[in-house]
Copies of this chain bind each other. A is one copy, B any other.
Amino acid sequence: MHKEKIERCDCNILHHELVDRVRGRMPGKDEVRAIADLFKVFGDPTRVRIISALFHSEMCVCDIASLLDMTKSSISHQLRILKQARLVRYRRDGKVVFYSLDDEHIKSIFDQAKSHISE
């Protein structure tokens, strides 16, 4: 019979050994935040559409804005977020900046997500 240390949870621990065992296998604070931050990037319709477009071809900001019927500004803001998450790369050609996907994992993550949705 062991008294638990003070828990923020306002209840008795029902399965103490299980909790301790799982606790040892939990990802660290930084990894959890990194995972959540990555999915947060995927969790916006505009960014999903940008990524879906870039699956087919590199495109400039103007192309994407036209395709999605949105302003260049909002597209540029979203591309910055995708850039920070290292999901897109860009190359400059004169006045035009072309964006393309920079990660081979995105396609399979999206495919798995589509599988879940259509089950």
Q: Which A residues have a C-beta under 8 Å from some C-beta of B?
A: 7-15, 18-19, 21-23, 25-27, 31-45, 47-49, 52-53, 56-57, 59-60, 62-63, 65-67, 69-72, 86, 96, 103, 105-106, 108-110, 112-117, 119
Contacts and interface: CB of A to CB of B under 8 A. Distances in A.
B62 A48 contact: no
B113 A105 contact: yes
Where chain A touches its partner, the secondary structure class is helix
A59 to B, nearest CB: 7
6 contacts: A9-B72, A13-B62, A26-B52, A38-B116, A39-B43, A108-B112
Nearest to A61: B11
Contacts of A39: 39-40, 42-43, 48, 113
Given A45-B36, A52-B32, A19 B113 contact: no
B9 A62 contact: yes
A50 B106 CA distance: 23
A119 B116 CA distance: 26
Contacts of A22: 53, 56-57, 59, 67
A117 B19 contact: no
